[in-house]
Structure 1
Amino acid sequence: MHRLTPLLLTAVTTALLTTPLHAQRPETRDRAQIPAEYRWDFSPIYKSWDAWEAGLKDMEAKMDAFAARKGTLASGPQAVLAAYQAFDEIGKLQYLTYRYPQLQRDVDTRDQAVAGRFQRVGAMFAKFDASTAWFTPELLTIPEATMRGWLDSTPALAPYRFTILDTYRKQQHVLDEQGERLLALAGRLNQAPRNVYSELSTSDIQWPKITTSDGKEVTLSPGNYRRLLEDSPVQADRAKAAAAHVGAYGANANTYAAIYNGVLQRDWFLTQARKFPTTLDAALDDDAVPRNVVETLIETTRAGTGPLQRYMQLRKKLLKLDSHHLYDGSVPIFRTDTTYPYATATANALASVAPLGSDYVERYKRFVGGGRIDVYENDGKRSGAYSANVYGVGPYLLLNYNDTLDSMFTFAHEAGHAMHSVLSNEHQPFVTSSYTIFVAEVASTMNERLLMEHLLKQTTDPKERFLLLQHAVDQIVGTFYTQVMFADYELQAHRRVEQGQPVTTEVLNQIYAGLLKSYYGESITVDDFYKWTWARIPHFFNTPYYVYQYATCFASSAELYKQMTTGDGKAREAARQRYLTLLSSGGNDHPMAQLKKAGVDLTQRATVQAVVDQLDELVTRMEAEAAKIR
């Protein structure tokens, strides 16, 4: 594999870095003019498109050969071993053939040739899913006792033990070959609501225009809308913008409701087809997460909204507002012209992870060394940030870095994901190298917490400290409380379909407006148009029952951080080792079991309550710093 020379960084120990270590953010948006050190190097995946075509051809041949294994599994443990090893070879090629066009598409979404290649991969994956629908039903014709005997007597099957036995755990929800094939064939059809939502909310939506109090006309696309709420000091402008932007979704609310009803009906159909009692049980089964984890999360958070409301009241007081609205939630309480160039972010992030040990730090250095992080915006590049693993090569991290405090924390967050992938890839065979979403956000939010505490140690300036604390509070509001409220909404909507009750625009509006009142109480004024907010949450339409995992991961990382930073040295070191073991465990066990080994039990109300208590403590610290600011 092509090795990239790591960028040498020095730990920050005496001052909060806010000045550049080398080149500033490029002025250009022309990707070709951005220095190579800030752009992805795709050559470790494939050297060229010709090499990718050869990889695609190789994968297709292996897929065809795998389909020919139908009817062989019962012949003995060697046949099962050969099938799983063949699956591994195909899976490794899937990473390579998928990521090569996907990553290049994301840095230039205008390139239709790359988009077409990416679609070819998707079509091949769908074909493979349908042609291998026989595998699990055939495997399950082998009695579990027989399979356990084969596992015990065949050492080479050891890497597949968890995966195979987990298939037997799910046996009651697996259909026969014909049934599995039908569900596989319906896979692309099941994506229809997502595709319709995407087109309606991106391609076809007409973003409204408003004229602000200074006479400027603003088109309220998502990016412009977000910037206006963050930058405008005039509450009336924020109010006008929010009413217009959310109202753009409200104008098509009946269509959005019909699409969402399609999502709910699809989920209920698949739930019944696989013989689950509820859609929540069906969604949680893959990871063996008990239903009471989500129910306890929602109940405890609903009962713990006091600190959230206290923070909103503090914002109202410091912003000197007569009434505080949701559209006031992004405007800074205190403004700063401090910038955080990318070199500053990497140096601070590297220094902050020192508590995780020298081995972790060395791996971190290698990762930021070049070629794996696409740093700056360019024309045609997709928005946002993510970490994408490529097994056998390593993770690739996408940013749109803009020298802000939020960008620095976004880097730390995504780099946490990347290091999770690095450790899992190193310590796990392919079959168990991929960790679940249920634990994914533990590593990212842990690194954000480490960065915050590191930065707080570097400054005594009350405004600087207030802004850092506010960032931490806003993370809890956005990653924990908001996501639990979203999960609450999804659960209520799905239960209506399960009970045969109608799902109309008015019903969805009532559910969402009721939740805003329950979570925020009297701490904000809830404008009527916010009842349409459900229509602008892509997760509801794309990945139902996904968002609760942000909150459980946040609760988990908070507990693990506490264990690693309190108690005597021996206890802290044991907690650190448990945490690193979690990051190295990939998907070798159910995520609840992995977290328990690390020291977290999400079935306990106290684990969730700890986040509520943490927010309460942070708001208290904010109040103390605010009192010092002149």
Structure 2
Amino acid sequence: MDRKDISEKYKWDLSFLYKDNQQWERDFERVKSLTNQIKQYKNKLGNDSETLLEVLNLQFTILRNIGNLYCFAKMKKDEDNNNSMYQGLTDRAEMLMTEVDMALSFIVPEILNISKDTMEDYLNLDQFSIYRHYLEQVMKKKPHILSASEESLLARTGEIANGPQNIYTMLNNADIKFPKVIDEEGNEVEITHGRFIPLMESKDRRVRKDTFKGLYDVYSQFKHTIASTLSTEVKKNVFYSRARKYNSSLEAALFQNDIPVKVYENLIETISSNLDPMHKYVSLRKEILGYEELHMYDLYTPIVEGIDLKIDYEEAKDTVVEALKPLGEDYINVVKKAFDSRWIDVYENKGKRSGAYSWGTYDSPPYILLNYHKTLDNMFTIAHEMGHSMHSYLSNKNQPYIYSGYSIFVAEVASTVNETLLTDYLLKNTDDIQIKKYILNHYLEQFRATVYRQTMFAEFEKIIHEKVEQGEPLTADNLSNIYKDLNIKYYGKDIFIDEEISVEWARIPHFYYNFYVYQYATGFSAAIALSQGIINGDKESRDAYIEFLSSGSSDYPINVLKKAGVDMTKKTPIEECVRLFNNSVDEMKNMMLTK
């Protein structure tokens, strides 16, 4: 479908950011001017408190505005990756971001040259109260901050450093074309990123197999090119970690959010020690489907027969609103505003970025990109992305710009709480036992995909970074071997590990996000803990959760979660999450196999 054929009410309205390209151009020139202005402060930050305050104010003004420029350009590009105008604006915004990074690169080293006593005197001044937490974070980075000239040199690499991800994104979204398959109704359908999962959910095993093989055969044709982009991405992470004197690229990635490496290791260790529930679920799926041999392309199809839920977008909207009502009237009013005010880009079109996300700036609504198809999974995607958007909305509303952005460590908590509330609502509001089984199956799939699968991804990332750190190459073949071995480990003996799945690493964009995926699993575990009190109608739990959503980065993410009642430095939340999954598998088995 071409974008012009979609009704305006189902397209996001980016005029909240910029009314037109001319306004964007004026802001672009303004940021360039401010960037030149801040350069004049170089070698002067230690002069007095007034100078430091001026620079901090100017720095965050620049960052706020460059964020608007990049967000608008990139989101316009995401509407249609073939649009050369917005490819150009995105490139210009990225180049300006690199220029900004270079211009600001002297600030942190000069702050670190200010004596501890002098900094304490500054922090006791009222006008510095807003910057206390920020400056304390800067001072913690002292062992990893280089000289001003070295920082400037690293900043100059910014545009090059984005290369692997940018090349992969263009290849994956604009250049790669997948074959057509015959669906279960006999129609010829082209495989796309958006259609892949709906086709993999087909009740017709032939459709699933053809889709699976069709998609991965294409990735296999490009596996050497994609291995090169991924290898370069990992080498980039290793380079920066060593340049900044970290013990590993993992430590470097986690340090930015003050996350102990043990949190990452705890996740992999805990899940690796609790694979039995996952293997039990795979075995149950095989038994219910009645296959002599379960294949990887059988993992997405519902194991409940007689259910063909087709959920129109308007119906999905109304259901999500009802499901989220335990979060309070104020929360719901903003959700309704998001639906009614064109904060959401709903349907797939040619050239549109695949998947879904929530994104915006301090000065814009928290927009949502969807590629909506009439499936239960896509309705859950609405709830998921709305969780992100509400987190952003409340953080922006309650925090100054400097602390409005929440850490990626807590980013998946709000989205998963919303999905859990939607599951609870759906289970409580149907008397149809088949639909209940279907929803419980979906819930189990959330666990499988978010806790177990994302932990498998996290272990894959850890392995490939360690191999580069040890001087070993990352070729398409050894990436595929590592990935296949992990699938064998996580899915167990009751499934046939098809050779095609070995190249799945080539279609995962999150491997270009520098140790991001583990946070899906930790976030899911935290969300399960937080959602229980909300579901039970406990006002204190709900209020603590809303306070969590409103905290932004005003404190370290581990502390923000602790205040809400979850301690992720311990294995307990993950163990409790796995225990709930195990119980849910047993419940599903009783429902499905009891006559």
Given the two structures, how large is their TM-score scaled by the length of structure 2? 0.93
- Alignment pair present for 1:441 and 2:441: no
- Alignment pair present for 1:70 and 2:42: yes
Which whole-Å CA distance do the structure 2 matches of 1:69 and 1:339 have between them?
60
Partner of 1:618: 584
Match of 1:41 among 13, 20, 33: 13
Q: 1:357: how far off?
A: 2.0
Question: 8 Å contact 1:38–1:370 — kept in the other structure?
Answer: no
**Counterpart amino acid of 1:491?**
K
- Alignment pair present for 1:385 and 2:351: no
How does 1:137-286 map onto structure 2 within 5 Å?
137-152=109-124, 154-201=125-172, 205=176, 207=178, 220-223=191-194, 225-231=196-202, 233-235=204-206, 238-286=208-256
Partner of 1:338: 309
What secondary structure sits across from 2:359 in the alignment?
A: strand
> What does the per-residue CA deviation read over 1:534-572, in whole Å, with 9 as the maximum and x for residues that have no partner?
2332222x2131110111111110111124446xx7xx3
What secondary structure sits across from 1:293 in the alignment?
A: helix
Question: 8 Å contact 2:412–2:520 — kept in the other structure?
Answer: yes
Change (3 A) 1:115 1:532: closer
Gap regions ≥5 residues in structure 1: 1-28
Partner of 1:82: 54
Partner of 1:522: 493
Given the two structures, how large is their TM-score scaled by the length of structure 1? 0.88
Q: 1:382: how far off?
A: 2.9
Partner of 1:598: 564
Question: 8 Å contact 1:409–1:451 — kept in the other structure?
Answer: yes
Q: 1:143: how far off?
A: 1.5
Match of 2:281 among 303, 311, 318: 311
Change (3 A) 1:502 1:42: closer
Which whole-Å CA distance do the structure 2 matches of 1:129 and 1:479 have between them?
34
Match of 2:555 among 586, 589, 595: 589
Question: 8 Å contact 1:463–1:625 — kept in the other structure?
Answer: no
**Counterpart amino acid of 1:327?**
Y
**Counterpart amino acid of 1:492?**
I
Deviates more, 1:487-496 or 1:185-194: 185-194
Which whole-Å CA distance do the structure 1 matches of 2:395 and 2:411 have between them?
11
Change (3 A) 1:559 1:387: same
Which whole-Å CA distance do the structure 1 matches of 2:338 and 2:197 have between them?
31
Question: 8 Å contact 1:465–1:625 — kept in the other structure?
Answer: no
Q: 1:488: how far off?
A: 0.6
**Counterpart amino acid of 2:455?**
V
What secondary structure sits across from 1:390 in the alignment?
A: coil
Deviates more, 1:221-230 or 1:187-196: 221-230
Which whole-Å CA distance do the structure 2 matches of 1:202 and 1:361 have between them?
34
Which whole-Å CA distance do the structure 2 matches of 1:142 and 1:221 have between them?
54
- Give percent identity, aligned residues only: 36
Change (3 A) 1:556 1:336: same
Partner of 2:290: 320
The structure, 1 or 2, with the larger RCO (C-alpha pairs under 8 Å, 6+ apart) is 1
> What does the per-residue CA deviation read over 1:110-142, in whole Å, with 9 as the maximum and x for residues that have no partner?
432233222222211111111221111111110
Deviates more, 1:530-539 or 1:575-584: 530-539
In angstroms, what is the RMSD of aligned CA positions?
A: 2.5
Partner of 1:574: 540
What secondary structure sits across from 1:376 in the alignment?
A: coil
> What does the per-residue CA deviation read over 1:326-360, in whole Å, with 9 as the maximum and x for residues that have no partner?
11112232253333222322222222222222222
Partner of 1:24: none
Partner of 2:448: 477
> What does the per-residue CA deviation read over 1:487-538, in whole Å, with 9 as the maximum and x for residues that have no partner?
1111112222223344444432332222112111112111233222223322
Question: 8 Å contact 1:173–1:275 — kept in the other structure?
Answer: yes
Partner of 1:353: 324
Question: 8 Å contact 2:173–2:354 — kept in the other structure?
Answer: no
Which whole-Å CA distance do the structure 2 matches of 1:558 and 1:391 have between them?
28
- Alignment pair present for 1:432 and 2:398: no
Partner of 1:468: 439
Partner of 1:450: 421
Partner of 1:459: 430
- Alignment pair present for 1:548 and 2:514: no
> What does the per-residue CA deviation read over 1:393-416, in whole Å, with 9 as the maximum and x for residues that have no partner?
321122222332122111111111
> What does the per-residue CA deviation read over 1:17-42, in whole Å, with 9 as the maximum and x for residues that have no partner?
xxxxxxxxxxxx45456444333223
- Alignment pair present for 1:59 and 2:31: yes
What secondary structure sits across from 2:257 in the alignment?
A: coil
What secondary structure sits across from 1:277 in the alignment?
A: coil
Partner of 2:462: 491
Change (3 A) 1:119 1:261: closer
Change (3 A) 1:114 1:528: closer
Q: 1:584: how far off?
A: 0.4
What secondary structure sits across from 1:147 in the alignment?
A: helix
Change (3 A) 1:383 1:584: same
